[in-house]
Structure 1
Amino acid sequence: MNGSKISFLAFGELVVRQLTDFSNNAFAALILLIQDARTPMAVSSGGDDIMQSHES
């Protein structure tokens, strides 16, 4: 009985850790997307090509 309780707590801790890692990664990805949206010319070389052709 005691052993199963310990393994359940360990499993719960593992799940929480996985969820925390996932949410941190998702948050970081969201920040990167927002930064990319704010600076469209820095996203890719394709964006630069479009801007250059627009200017000339």
Structure 2
Amino acid sequence: MKAFFIIAVITVLAYWFWRGIMKFMGMFSDHAEEIFYDDGRLLSQSEERKSAQP
């Protein structure tokens, strides 16, 4: 159980580290910013906003 917890923490840290890199690169490159925003959660939220508007 301890090993699973350690793997979960490493996975979360790696995810946020990758997101941070993509956001930082987004300041210099539009392509990197597109990759950063091409996130399932952000994409679904933007779709919900579109459907909510008349």
Report the CA distance between 1:19 and its aligned residue.
Answer: 0.2
Taking only the aligned residue pairs, the percentage that are identical comes to 6
Structure 1 moving runs of 4+ over 2 Å? none
| SS at 1:38 equivalent | coil
**Structure 2: runs of 5 or more not aligned:** 35-54
Query: What TM-score does the superposition give when structure 1 sets the normalisation length?
Result: 0.51
Query: What TM-score does the superposition give when structure 2 sets the normalisation length?
Result: 0.52
Of the two, which has the highest radius of gyration? 1
Instruction: Output one character per residue of 1:1-56: Cα deviation in whole Å (capped at 9) or x when no partner.
Output: xxxxxxxxxx11000000000000110000000000123xx146xxxxxxxxxxxx
Taking the aligned partners of 1:35 and 1:29, their CA distance within structure 2 comes to 10
Q: Calculate the aligned-residue CA RMSD, in Å.
A: 1.4
Q: Which has the higher contact order (CA 8 A, sep 6+)?
A: 2
Equivalenced residues, count: 32
